[in-house]
Amino acid sequence: MSDARPAVEQVQAAFTQAITEVCAAHGIPMLRVKKQDLPTVAHFLHTNPGFRGSLSLLWAVDHRPREARYELCYLFTLAEHKDWLLLVTDLHGDEREFPSITPHLHAAKWYEREIRDLFGLIPVGHPDLRRLVRHEHWPKGSYPLKKDFPWDRVLGRVQGEYAFRKIHGEGIFEVPVGPIHAGIIEPGHFRFSVAGEPIMQLEVRHFWKHRGVEKLFEQQQLNEAVPLSERVSGDTSVGHSLAYCQAVETLQGVEVSPRARYLRTLFLELERLHNHIGDVGAICNDTAYALAHAHCGRMKEQLMQLNDRLTGSRFLRGVNCVGGVALDLSGLQLAQVEVELNALEQDFSAIEKIVFANASLTERLENTGILTESIAWDHAVIGVVGRASGIDRDLRRDRPFAAYDMLQPKVAFYRYGDVRARMRVRLDEIHESIRLIREVRRSLPLGRLVSQPMHQPQPGAWALSAVEGWRGEILYVVMAGDAGLIHRCKVRDPSFVNWPAIQWAALGNIVPDFPLINKSFNLSYAGNDL
Amino acid sequence: MFRILKKSLQTGVVTGQHPAGAAPSEPLSQDAIEKAKPFRRSLTIREVDTGSCNACEMEMNALANPVYDVERFGVHIAASPRHADALVVTGPVTVNMERALKAVYKATADPKIVIALGDCAIHCGMFKGSYAVTGPVDRHIPVDVRISGCPPRPAEILAVLEGLRQEPATSKT
């Protein structure tokens, strides 16, 4: 992490008229920008080689009933400064419109549509204002994240149809897939336009699983919402609950003990491990190589059983709590973990050799589903997918949390962006995770598990936290409300960012390769739809 | 080739190497066992996710791994509801998935059984009351078997599926 202060001064100098206030929130430099100047400032941050800013998060807050004001917050990660910069703008009173930045930044596309659907605020100039979260059968005017919308309202049903983008030409036809798929996977709709076998266009239509998670957070107390965060995306229970806990800890001024930090690291790596091994198996399975799938399924199961023995939950639920961790591991348990993981690493390395000795398998992986670096950059793609496409970002190194500042994780990085690269990133990360867990065992300090809060946050105080989960960057913004309640909780699973990118990775590939490409991304539908 | 054989020999048989799950909170009803009678030796399942957090999906997938190997009991996972004897439904039924769930139920050939998997499918779990949720599952389609847990362990799912294979007359549940 480096310092963004010179960057702030530069932006300020370039836009003296546009910027009304400069401050910092929990160490994040923040610029309040006039509404109409937002697109220019955003464009400047994104394209200026001195910043190379990519949009990491865009969220809105309804400040009622305290103030009749909406706030829009644009979080940029400045690649050149390795730091965050926050642009904020306000919509006062009855204002409903704000200028869209999507014409300048692809990455804002879904965020702005999401804000329109959930808050009823209109991004003027957005090239695509079809509904995103609220499917067409939702009644007009139902904007669930507005404060005057009751969390338990029963929605009516109206007529309406989503208009898929059409492309025309001789022999082009559409293949609709979903929302219910052939395997045991989550629901989502893919609309392929194909000419023979190759995919000419893919449109992803999601949000079938929208459960109203962010509104449900607003019904909960700050200290009690951890179980909900574990159920945002079940396969990332630790990642999400850790991000949530960290945000609340920042709000309450909790200093988490070193022991709890190390244990959190251990649990996060255990989660990464079982998911990555499962994914490697699933990628092999989609090339019809059942042998590797069976072996990886066996090893994943071994890890799930290990999780269960350590914590009483196969998904490591209930380990994180606000202030630290809810359970301790004994020296004996840690020794057993190390013995088991050492054996597993050997076991897994043997499978790796078998997999890469199989030309008919590797042939399917190479040059399939290429996501180029420039498209990945335009869409601010992150996580495993980003690191396979030349986006060298990993929060464990760039903004260390938990105990990562002490562990120096090595970051897997590839440029060719195909299925093979995404598989390679996972393989490297599996070995690195095992190394990190060994390291945690070696240097685990003594100390308490849960630390007490210094103070209760003022209503309106907010905090942002970021965790590198196994898929990528998980971001949580938590704003305190009255009487210990949550006023607003913005949840951002990496899937939300990476889903639009898959539409580009699939282009030109044949339809039968799409499951393979999809598996190599392995994005969450639940975490995306919220 | 030698490497593959060596690995298989070293690994041996892993099927069944798992701890027993907790006892089911709700015993199987005689009605359900009676209804499952035609599928005792072969049960084909179509899984439908209506808004789960995907942990239930992961455990359903685990049933197919070599450790649980559900196929040895004649249980298959079908790609289409037209091929299914049973629907396994997870999640609290979101507003957006309600239609799809009903369509799938209609598309599944009779006779059929419906298994609600996980707390969300049974009583909406943490998502109960949300504007975006219209469940639980039995509000929309009749449910025969309930498997509770958040998520239920694969061993627990397996135990219930085995329960469905018993002879209705001699069963004591």
Average pLDDT over residues A11-21: 83
Which alpha helices (H) appear in B12-73, and where do they start and end? 30-35, 55-63
Which alpha helices (H) appear in A318-412, and where do they start and end? 331-356, 359-365, 373-378, 383-387, 395-398, 404-407
Distance CA(A281)–CA(A290), nearest Å, equals 8
B2 part of a folded domain:
no
Confidence of residue A239 (pLDDT cuts 50, 70, 90): very high
Q: Do A294 and B97 touch (CB under 8 A)?
A: no
pLDDT over 90, % of chain B? 61
Distance CA(A67)–CA(A58), nearest Å, equals 21
In CATH, A5-124 is 3.30.460.80: yes
Q: Do A524 and B54 touch (CB under 8 A)?
A: yes
Nearest to A180 among B14, B48, B68 (CB): B48
Average pLDDT of the residues of chain B? 89
Burial readout A418-441 (b: 16 or more C-beta within 10 A, e: otherwise): bbbbbbbbbbbbbbbbbbbbbbbb
B130 part of a folded domain:
yes
Average pLDDT over residues A9-32: 84
B96 part of a folded domain:
yes
Confidence of residue A3 (pLDDT cuts 50, 70, 90): low
Q: Does the beta carbon of A291 lie under 8 angstroms from any beta carbon of chain B?
A: yes
Q: Do A212 and B64 touch (CB under 8 A)?
A: no
pLDDT tens digits, one per residue of B140-158: 999 999 999 989 999 999 9
Nearest 10 degrees: CA dihedral of A112, A205, A208, A159? 90
What domain range is B113 assigned to?
24-163
Domain count along chain B: 1
Q: Which residues of B touch A154 (CB under 8 A)?
A: 131
Distance CA(A499)–CA(A107), nearest Å, equals 11
Q: Does the beta carbon of A416 lie under 8 angstroms from any beta carbon of chain B?
A: no
Mean pLDDT lowest among A137-141, A303-307, A426-430, A475-479? A137-141
Checking if the pLDDT of A56 tops 80, the result is yes
Checking if the pLDDT of B159 tops 70, the result is yes
Q: Which residues of A touch B18 (CB under 8 A)?
A: 301, 305
Find, in chain A, the residue whose alpha carbon is nearest to that of B96: A208
Q: Do A184 and B60 touch (CB under 8 A)?
A: yes
pLDDT tens digits, one per residue of B50-104: 999 999 999 999 999 999 999 998 899 998 899 999 999 999 999 999 999 999 9
Q: Do B65 and A179 touch (CB under 8 A)?
A: no
**Residue B149 belongs to domain with CATH number:** 3.40.50.12280
> What's domain A213-499's architecture?
Orthogonal Bundle (1.10)
Checking if the pLDDT of A133 tops 80, the result is yes
Mean pLDDT lowest among A11-20, A38-47, A139-148? A11-20
What is residue B164's predicted lDDT score, i.e. its pLDDT? 85
What is residue A1's predicted lDDT score, i.e. its pLDDT? 46
Q: How far is CA A196 from CA A367, A446, A511, in A?
A: 20, 63, 9
B19 part of a folded domain:
no
Nearest to A212 among B49, B64, B132 (CB): B132
pLDDT over 90, % of chain A? 74
Least Cα separation, residue A438 to chain B (angstroms): 24
Q: Which residues of B touch A295 (CB under 8 A)?
A: 7, 11
What is residue B38's predicted lDDT score, i.e. its pLDDT? 84
Domain ranges of chain A: 5-124, 172-205, 213-499
Checking if the pLDDT of A302 tops 90, the result is yes
Average pLDDT over residues A264-280: 95
Which residues 176-215 on chain A approach chain B with CB closer than 8 angstroms? 179-180, 182-187, 207-213, 215
What is residue A8's predicted lDDT score, i.e. its pLDDT? 82
Q: Which residues of A touch B14 (CB under 8 A)?
A: 298
Q: Which residues of B touch A300 (CB under 8 A)?
A: 62, 65
What is residue A519's predicted lDDT score, i.e. its pLDDT? 93
Q: Do A234 and B151 touch (CB under 8 A)?
A: yes
Q: Does the beta carbon of B119 lie under 8 angstroms from any beta carbon of chain A?
A: no
Q: If DSSP codes are grouped into helix, strand and coil, which group holds residue A103?
A: coil
Question: Is the distance from CB of B119 to CB of B149 less than 8 angstroms?
Answer: yes
Checking if the pLDDT of A131 tops 50, the result is yes
pLDDT tens digits, one per residue of A416-468: 999 999 999 999 999 999 999 999 999 999 989 988 888 888 888 999 999 99
B135 part of a folded domain:
yes
Average pLDDT over residues B123-144: 92
Q: Do B133 and A301 touch (CB under 8 A)?
A: no
Average pLDDT of the residues of chain A? 91
Checking if the pLDDT of A292 tops 90, the result is yes
Strand order in the sheet with A486-492: A462-468, A473-480, A486-492
Which alpha helices (H) appear in A392-510, and where do they start and end? 395-398, 404-407, 419-443, 494-505
More confident position, A170 or B25: A170
What is residue B171's predicted lDDT score, i.e. its pLDDT? 45
Checking if the pLDDT of B173 tops 50, the result is no
Q: Which residues of B touch A308 (CB under 8 A)?
A: 19, 153
